[in-house]
Amino acid sequence: MTDELHPAHGRALEPRFIHSITGGLVTRASLLQFIRAFFQTSEVNAGYYLEFGVFNGGSMLEAYGLLRGVVTHLYGFDSFDGLPELSAEDKDAVALTPSFVPGNFRSIGVDAVRQIILAGATRLAAENLVLTPGFYEQTLPAFDTAQFAGKGPCLIAHVDCDLYSSSRDVFAFLDGVVTTGTWLLLDDYWTYRGSPNHGQRRAFEEWMAASTRIGATEYTSYNGFSKAYVLYEK
């Protein structure tokens, strides 16, 4: 691959940054590599990663591979049975994203996903991977956040749960967990044709309007449909 030059400085660019400089989409992998540098600059040496919408484990494996040595524990939440029954709000918008229907995005199962992640995540101890199966409205209120104690801050919360109702449940959970410097990766921000009245974007904006504890600074869109924020305590 031929090195490309930064237009202002005439220096060779590292390949992972070329697409964003030349006008292409910022990729999730490129963003994660910057996030690693972000934490190193802040001298954050350890913390945990949360993922809501694990599917078959690919995005969690990617994150651990790029953040290994900084991220020490992985927590994943998913029904592993596909999307839940749609709420009234979700049904109102189904024509804008027809693939978001109950049962779609069913995974290969929590046990198989666990095996895939442990096989691919070099040096990740089995006890440092926690996968919680079930729909968020039941699992998140029952989850004991005391198990995060002693593991450093929440470094990244990756939210890939598609629907307004599911995203609303996730943000209610995150409000008491995230802190200044946590990266919030919203995988489905630009779905529903980008409307602020539906889906994950609506749930996020409602959370930001209601929360007395957490605010968010916009960082960038990435991967086409996704958007990244850096969170802070008010």
Query: pTM of the prediction?
Result: 0.89
Whether 17 shows a pLDDT value over 50: the answer reads no
Whether 184 shows a pLDDT value over 90: the answer reads yes
Confidence of residue 144 (pLDDT cuts 50, 70, 90): very high
User: pLDDT tens for residues 209-230?
Assistant: 999 999 999 999 999 899 999 9
Q: Which amino acid is at 212?
A: T
Which pLDDT does position 20 carry in this prediction?
A: 45
Residues, the chain: 234
Superfamily of domain covering 26-233: Vaccinia Virus protein VP39 (3.40.50.150)
Confidence of residue 25 (pLDDT cuts 50, 70, 90): confident
Q: Where are the domains of the chain?
A: 26-233
> Of 137, 111, 121, 136, which is closest to residue 56 (Cα–Cα)?
111
User: pLDDT tens for residues 42-72?
Assistant: 999 999 999 999 999 999 999 999 999 999 9
> Of 72, 82, 31, which is closest to residue 154 (Cα–Cα)?
72
The DSSP bridge partners found for residue 78 are 133
CA 196 vs. chain centroid, Å, equals 19
Q: 29 burial class (0-12, 13-18, 19+ CB within 10 angstroms)? A: middle
Q: Which of 4-13, 120-129, 146-155, 202-211 has the lowest mean pLDDT?
A: 4-13
Rg of the Cα trace of the chain?
A: 18
